[in-house]
Amino acid sequence: MILCNKDKRVLSSLKPVVTRAVLFFLSLCVAPLFAGPATDRLNDFFAKKGAMRADFVQTVQGAAFVQPEESRGTLLMQRPGKFRWDYHLPYEQQIIADGKQLWIYDVDLEQVIVKPLDKALGDTPALLLSGDGEVGQRFDIKELPDKGDGLLWVQLLPRQADTGFTTVKLGFDQQYLRSMELVDGFEQVTKLAFSNVETGIKLPVDTFVFVPPQGVDVIGGKAGEK
């Protein structure tokens, strides 16, 4: 896929949002929330053994965008600390956590960014959920009224002002996490809708192994480092 300069500027503005949203999702893989109808659904869902697979549609909207930007892809997740987000449209990008490192591969730019997973989490609200202590010490947790969409919603408000998002909302159906809404300090809204969700599945052992393709620029780590 070939992008013009304008497209690349838009892509560049999207990537921090994409990464923060992905890392926040990781935080849900490693820490339970407090009791309540919606949070019970989250806890039950992530307590299930095995891996998860889902398709997703992500939309980002805010003052920096003339119209909402949409991207699509697939998610694979294996607790603890392993996931793989493959963005297929409108550009190709892979975000992979192998339990120790986070790899971000931009196919168009032929560039890989790698960093220790714990340091990557430190740049996002994931730190608030994956650290020691109760989630309630880091977030104000509120069950939200019925939106009429068939989902149960919970809102998480970070108590610290230096997190990547000001508000996070999670929506669940009878079994699965179906929707995420994240608002950052610039009032930019990221929404993720999940479909074709499968849980308790088995994945090949190399699903979360990433080896940078030959010839790409690797930033922040050594190519092939595990």
Which residues face 157 on adjacent strands?
A: 140
| Ramachandran class of 144: left when φ > 0, alpha when ψ lies in -120 to 50, beta otherwise | beta
Provide the H-helix boundaries in 66-215. 117-121, 126-130
Which residues are registered as beta bridge partners of 191? 59, 181
**Residue 109 CB-density burial (10 A; 0-12 exposed, 13-18 middle, 19+ buried):** middle
- Assigned domain for 194 exists: yes
Q: Is residue 116 part of a domain?
A: yes
The CATH number covering residue 47 comes to: 2.50.20.10
pTM: 0.75
Sheet holding 167-172, edge to edge: 139-143, 152-158, 167-172, 177-183, 189-201, 51-61, 69-78, 82-89, 93-98, 101-106, 111-116, 217-219
Per the domain annotation, does 146 fall within a domain? yes
- Asked whether residue 133 carries a pLDDT value surpassing 60, the answer given is no
Confidence band for 12, pLDDT divided at 50, 70 and 90 = very low
How far is 99 from 201, CA to CA, in rounded Å?
Answer: 18
Domain membership flag for residue 225: no
Which domain covers residue 145, as residue numbers?
5-203
Look at residue 208 and tell me if it is in a domain.
no
pLDDT tens string 73-119: 999 988 777 888 899 999 999 988 888 888 999 999 999 999 887 77
Q: Above 90 in pLDDT, residue 152?
A: yes
Residue 16 dihedral angles phi and psi, to the nearest 5°:
-60, -35
- Examine residue 90 and state whether it is found in any structural domain, yes or no: yes
Q: Is the residue at 210 inside a domain?
A: no
Q: Determine contact, residues 221/105, Cβ cutoff 8 Å.
A: no
Q: Domains in the chain: how many in total?
A: 1
219 belongs to a structural domain? no
